[in-house]
Structure 1
């Protein structure tokens, strides 16, 4: 650890607060989203002054991703690093319930207040400040350092996936979302639409005849069978699936939204159910969604109506706003991976205690790196109960400690030879 370097964080903490104040001043609430061009321009200008090469592209109109790249002096031989964070924030709700202005940084005692200080502009500010100190102090990095500030994480918009699709890669990806400075992997989430649809449409006056003949049925009533089957599958998973660090029964299937029918003069010919499925870190969202489909087909096979009117499935999506769907892949972490061990050591050097290594209670963009075969971990400042809260806050000391850990970890990892 470079003690002189980390001491600069204490000496210049007002600069860290200034960066965070600037970031909080951009109202990047999502939804409605489509409002991040200005903050990304600010970050790009900041990084370019530190000799980063930057690229911006619109994932959605007025919602660009930004990647800043600083090439190492021996990129082929030494480890590369991605630091990833999202710059959208959760909606504020009724501003009258706040005691501080949501988009103006407020300092009270040991806390900083404002929308995003914990989730997760505080971490982004720390990463920016750390890169500035490394640059100004002439700390050479032999491996590449890449900063990604992405859009849409709050509403399941795959900003990080867009970075991966454009070919951005590294030997390790550190997602600095709020983990209370614990090192986390995560389970995953996928949403899906299950549709019951009749091939024929009937007038409401036909219901008595249909009840007698069994020729037709209400799609809404048929959906009740689907919901019952999903509940049975959820119970089965609770009994048969498990993963260290999670309570049994964490693999859930939530029937979140139901839509169906035309109006009272029709027998309902269509019903759609929006479900949210949570799964364990070692599971793949593609396999999990296939499990759901196969179980429903098997459990409903004795109902001839479903044979003639098969279920339809739509899984995932790249935006809860645009296509009403999302995917957060799971992320297993290897506690013995060299980057994880080095991150543990860096944390301990600064905080004098070992960090907890385990699993997040929520989901982040880390799963996209894991899904792409890039070793990853979640490690950032901020407590989960502060995320999305009224009067969102974070301790200044937490940001200071996190910045010091970054200043220890980044040069250690990027100056270690690839294995």
Structure 2
């Protein structure tokens, strides 16, 4: 084992106060999303930390008050050695008015075993660990041979896909490491897309006309959009159960590909028959699928169900899928991705994990979603690996295990130390 690497691991242990101070600085910025539009100071802080490590900074506004920051460190063998993206987000989950915190959520409270504060698990702990690992390596003169990109994005909590904007800006690499919450497992993820299904009548009937609408000889061919939506919900349940029987994916419990009728909006007033109804659904799908194909499957099934109903046949459902923001557009997309365990970089990460944790890394599929899917969608091999557990993400009194944070940071030192030393051409991957 390299003596220099052992010394760097010892530094992480001896300088834990610096690591915790860095995390505390990040937590102190109240980057709650929603309401969002509040990350400018936090991103400036992070950009300054990267500048101290000789990164050049590119920054742009995803939305006013919410910039994306990408730090670039050009490799000594740029164009010949492999490039790496390290990705994370600085926005954190909202805090509701009735939440009872034992600690100030924007001040790190450190106990013997844990660190408390909003975002420590999701995912400022991961960002702090990476920044400190890079600092230790930089101070030791260990620099990358290939280009290194550190992406600090916003909007992940509300589907605003700051990571997607990095891809659209042209950032690409041979591997992307998303240091979001994974309990230090190497993970892929399923996908999520939200959609609105709307039923609308061409006429608005008064409540007094309902008798003529529903009884024989009434003479009014009308319908309540709310009642007709019940047929759509039933059809969605049938499709969901069909998927549970006919589809599966390694790493997921059976039936993880769900269709959730999350929100329903309909009618205009108690004095009228509901002439419009919209259903907001959330669809989870497997990595073997693409969200565009899933959309087509849902629409085809619902349209077939609608054609079996005399009124819906003439008033077919309308669909609106995805969106760039849950805040701005009430919609989001999180693409799915799988992990290539034979990828040289993934093997390197697994080896680094085993050296620090003294056990083989667990490969699994996250039951939630991250921005990492956009990196995979752009053709970049992507893995999720970060500290923190999902039961703490978004939780009251959110906490992170101190020992896990330290071991994650040491793993990052080991992985980056190995990655920086390699000099294979991209074609060799």
TM-score in terms of structure 1 length: 0.97
Number of residue pairs the alignment of both structures matches: 419
Matches within 5 A, 1:340-351: 340-351=346-357
| Separation of aligned partners in 1, 2:304 and 2:192 | 23
Aligned partner of 1:357 in structure 2 is: 363
Displacement of 1:67 in angstroms is 0.5
**2:260 counterpart (245, 254, 279):** 254
SS at match of 1:59: strand
CA contact under 8 A between 2:114 and 2:401: conserved in structure 1? yes
User: 2-side partners of 1:164 and 1:214: how far apart?
Assistant: 54
Task: Show CA shifts across 1:322-358 (max 9, x none).
Answer: 1001111111111111111111011111121110011
- Alignment-derived partner of residue 307 in structure 1: 313
Structure 2: distance between partners of 1:53 and 1:373: 24
In the other structure, the counterpart of 1:170 is 173
Deviation at 1:317, TM superposition (A): 0.9
1:141 aligns with 2:144: yes
1:413: how far off? 2.4
Q: Deviations over 1:82-121 (max 9, x none)?
A: 1111101112224761111110111111211111111110
Q: How many angstroms apart in 1 are the aligned matches of 2:220 and 2:338?
A: 49
**Quick one: distance in 1 between partners of 2:406 and 2:400?**
11
Runs of 4+ in 1 over 4 A off after TM superposition: none
Contact preservation (8 Å) 1:95, 1:102 = no
CA displacement at 1:409 relative to structure 2: 1.0
312-321 or 393-402: bigger deviation: 393-402
* 2:197 corresponds to 1:194: yes
Query: Of the candidates 77, 80, 85, which is equivalent to residue 82 of structure 1?
Result: 85
Q: Which residue of 2 aligns with 1:183?
A: 186
| Cα pair 1:145 1:414 within 8 Å, conserved | no
1:44 maps to which of 23, 47, 53? 47
Distance in 2 between residues matched to 1:166 and 1:408, nearest whole Å = 30
Displacement of 1:60 in angstroms is: 0.8
1:50 and 1:95 mapped to 2: Cα distance?
41
Instruction: State the alpha-carbon separation in 2 of the partners of residues 396 and 31 from structure 1.
Output: 28
Please give the alpha-carbon distance, in whole angstroms, between the structure 2 residues aligned to 1:23 and 1:71: 26
Unaligned stretches of 5+ residues in structure 1: none
* Deviation for aligned residue 1:205: 2.5
Q: What is the SS of the residue equivalent to 1:300? A: helix
Q: Does 2:161 match 1:155?
A: no
Q: Within 5 A, what are the aligned runs for 1:153-302?
A: 153-211=156-214, 212-213=218-219, 215-302=221-308
SS at match of 2:187: strand
CA deviation map 1:334-384 (0-9, x unaligned):
111111111101111112111001111111111111111110010000011
Does structure 1 residue 15 correspond to structure 2 residue 37? no
Aligned with 1:377: secondary structure?
strand
- SS of residue paired to 1:119: helix
Give the unaligned 5+ runs of structure 2. Answer: none
1:116 to 102, 119, 122: 119
The residue number in structure 1 matching 2:410 is 404
1:376 to 382, 385, 403: 382
- Distance (Å, rounded) in 2 between the aligned partners of 1:367 and 1:217: 41
Residues 293-347 of structure 1, C-alpha deviations (whole Å, 9 max, x = no match): 0011112222232222121100011111110011111111111111111110111
Compared CA separation, residues 315 and 414, structure 1 to 2 (3 A): farther
Q: C-alpha separation between the residues in 2 aligned to 1:239 and 1:16?
A: 47
Alignment partners' CA distance in 2, 1:53 and 1:340: 26
Q: Structure 1 residues 54 and 236, CA, compared in 2 at 3 Å: closer, same or farther? A: same
**Contact persistence 1:80–1:414 (CA under 8 A):** no
Distance 2:99 2:176 in 1: 39
Q: Which moved more, 1:90-99 or 1:340-349?
A: 90-99
Separation (CA, whole Å) in 1 of partners of 2:97 and 2:111? 22
Aligned residue among 22, 34, 59 for 2:37: 34
1:366 aligned residue (354, 364, 372): 372
TM-score, normalization by structure 2: 0.95
> 2 CA distance for matches of 1:67 and 1:306?
49
The alignment partner of 2:391 has SS state of: helix
Tell me the CA shift for residue 131 of structure 1.
1.2
Partner of 2:69: 66
